Chain A
Amino acid sequence: MAKMTKEEVIEVAHLARLAITDEEAEHFADQLEAITNAMELLNELDTENVEPTTHVLQMVNVLREDKSIPGLDRELMLKNVKEHEGGQVKVPTILE
């Protein structure tokens, strides 16, 4: 049985860009440990010669003619942007 530590949860949360307190990390560690342990049921199965399924239907590349089509109106696209100026999206400082 795999053990999920608080430190691992903090690491995973960071990769997923989630801020997390120590207390939350401990709580999630217990839950995620129980969940991943339940997942280990799959190890009972020998899948050495089994192909993975990424998609249930036969998929083919979908291509279209390479010609431009009009995009959405800029004003419309900025409708849900909290802060914008001169048609551009404002974000916090990236370089200090």
Chain B
Amino acid sequence: MSLVEKTAAQLQEMIHTKEMTIAELTQKAFDRIEALEPKVDAFLALNKERATQQAGEMDKVPFADRGPLFGLPIGVKDNIVTEGLETTASSRILEGFNPIYNATVVEKLKEAGMVTVGKLNMDEFAMGSSNENSYYKKTKNPWNLETVPGGSSGGSAAAVAAGEVPFTLGSDTGGSIRQPAAFCGVVGMKPTYGRVSRFGLIAYASSLDQIGPITRTVKDNALLLNAISGHDDKDSTSANVEVPDFTAALTGDITGLRIGVPKEYFGEGVGEAAKQAVLDALKVLEERGAICEEISLPHSKYALATYYLLASSEASSNLSRFDGIRYGYRTEKAGNLLEFYMNTRSEGFGDEVKRRIMLGTYALSSGYYDAYYKKAQKVRTLIKKDFDDAFEKYDVIIGPTTPTPAFKIGEIIDDPLTMYANDILTIPVNLAGVPAISVPCGFDNGLPLGLQIIGKYFDEETVYRVADVFEQATDFHKKTPQTWEGAAQ
């Protein structure tokens, strides 16, 4: 088995038995990245010099002082600020932006001893489902380089799928961790809203955004969530709740677990392959003692419209800070201050970002506020109630992560509504704020499919337990894409 297929525990064993140093592991990660980047294009900035230096120093730390993630390489989505390492959110308006502090999650990675190797491509400001909205590059899906990796955390999912790094961080506002994880055949967790601090996450839609881990296995995912969770004084929306050891939840026992299967998640637009893969997965879970029953989340079909109104409204407000004055891109063509603002923003933002800013501005403008924004907030209450009701009877809710596997690059980029429909099965989760994971559950024409397991508020433990049981019972997570062939190990 090559290095890139190893879990955190296996890598630690190699380090502890002196088969490999942290410096060597870091070097191997960069070799692998350099070998695969011409095909995959997952990374924006690389942190080679500092990472190499950090790794050398870490090798001197006594084994007794090291945790389970100590010395392991990680990539970070480019909307999470990293001190001294260019952070652009894949937007021209932040080209060359060099943060002067770290996001709380990045501080936590440091505390855990992880080595940040670089920043990962994404849809501009996390708006998109294909990574085609990046100003800088188009990340490719390692399973088929003509298809998209999904989005917006497409770089984060592709880097793990390609074996460039074993761990990445993404962010999920309407499916931006789970959808690319499904498309790339890896494990992606959107934690409960408030579980992980958003301090230093460049805001898109603040009432929905949440940072989470992307990994190859469920256990590694739980390890990384352990490291980044917890209340933060710098984020007043972070929840002051206890953080359990998520890996302790992986007991392998799901006897008597009640699974709700929403019929709406098998409706119009959801492909046969995705449906069948989930039905097969449910059988696997039933064989291990779970009880599956069909349920209804009756307001599911309203989630997409609700999401785009709320997320765009919040975005129009959040993105008003980008004015070219204190940081970021500045226009060269301006006779006065108004022109300066307008030209800076028009030249700095891409089309999808402009579309959402305008939609949000429209939805919040006088005369339309009640009809659009407030209406959407009320429907959000109904969608949340669907989940509250279901979770009175069921421990988890399971369905497909996406209606279809990855689509071709360029195929739907000019059709915003079709692009938005990619997220119909992930968006309700963000509106409710509950946690959900995507784990690999099959293939359709060689492209991965994802199983979505949704849990109760702050019950990531049960979500992980079910995901782990499924992973142990199947071998989808062991399959590797063809891009691996011939690349540095």
* A interface residues with partner B (beta carbon < 8 Å): 8-9, 12-20, 28, 31-32, 34-36, 38-45, 47, 50-57, 59, 62, 64, 72, 76-77, 79-82, 89, 91-94, 96
Assuming A34-B417, A39-B309, is B327 touching A80 (CB within 8 A)? yes
Contact B372 A16, beta carbon cutoff 8 Å: no
User: Which A residues are in CB contact (< 8 Å) with B328?
Assistant: 80
Mostly, the A contact residues are loop
Mostly, the B contact residues are helix
For the complex, is B349 an interface residue (Cβ under 8 Å from A)? yes
Assuming A42-B302, A89-B326, is B361 touching A15 (CB within 8 A)? yes
Contact B236 A32, beta carbon cutoff 8 Å: no
* Further contacts, 6 of them, CB under 8 A, given A39-B372, A52-B378, A93-B336: A18-B342, A18-B357, A32-B359, A81-B326, A89-B325, A92-B340
Query: What is the bound-complex CA distance between A58 and B100, given in angstroms?
Result: 32
Contact A38 B417, beta carbon cutoff 8 Å: yes
Q: How many residues of B contact A (CB 8 A)?
A: 66
Contact B359 A80, beta carbon cutoff 8 Å: no
Chain A's nearest CB lies how many Å from the CB of B386? 12
Contact B416 A35, beta carbon cutoff 8 Å: yes
Contact B302 A41, beta carbon cutoff 8 Å: yes
Contact A13 B326, beta carbon cutoff 8 Å: no
B195-239 near A? 1/0 per residue, CB < 8 Å: 000000000000100000000000000000000000001001101
Query: What is the bound-complex CA distance between A52 and B339, given in angstroms?
Result: 37
Chain B's nearest CB lies how many Å from the CB of A16? 4
User: Which B residues are in CB contact (< 8 Å) with A64?
Assistant: 233
Contact B358 A32, beta carbon cutoff 8 Å: yes
Task: Pick the residue among A50, A56, A80 that contacts B193 (CB under 8 A).
Answer: A56
Contact B357 A16, beta carbon cutoff 8 Å: yes
User: Which A residues are in CB contact (< 8 Å) with B432?
Assistant: 56
Contact B336 A62, beta carbon cutoff 8 Å: no
Chain A's nearest CB lies how many Å from the CB of B393? 20
Query: What is the bound-complex CA distance between A47 and B305, given in angstroms?
Result: 15
Query: What is the bound-complex CA distance between A55 and B456, given in angstroms?
Result: 16
B317-354 near A? 1/0 per residue, CB < 8 Å: 00010011111101000111111111101100100001
Chain B's nearest CB lies how many Å from the CB of A21? 9
Query: What is the bound-complex CA distance between A49 and B335, given in angstroms?
Result: 51
Can you offer 6 A-B residue contacts whose CB atoms are under 8 A?
Answer: A9-B358, A13-B358, A35-B417, A53-B378, A80-B328, A92-B335
Chain B's nearest CB lies how many Å from the CB of A57? 5
Contact A76 B100, beta carbon cutoff 8 Å: yes
Query: What is the bound-complex CA distance between A56 and B384, given in angstroms?
Result: 8
Contact A53 B384, beta carbon cutoff 8 Å: yes
Residue of A nearest to B302 (CB): A42
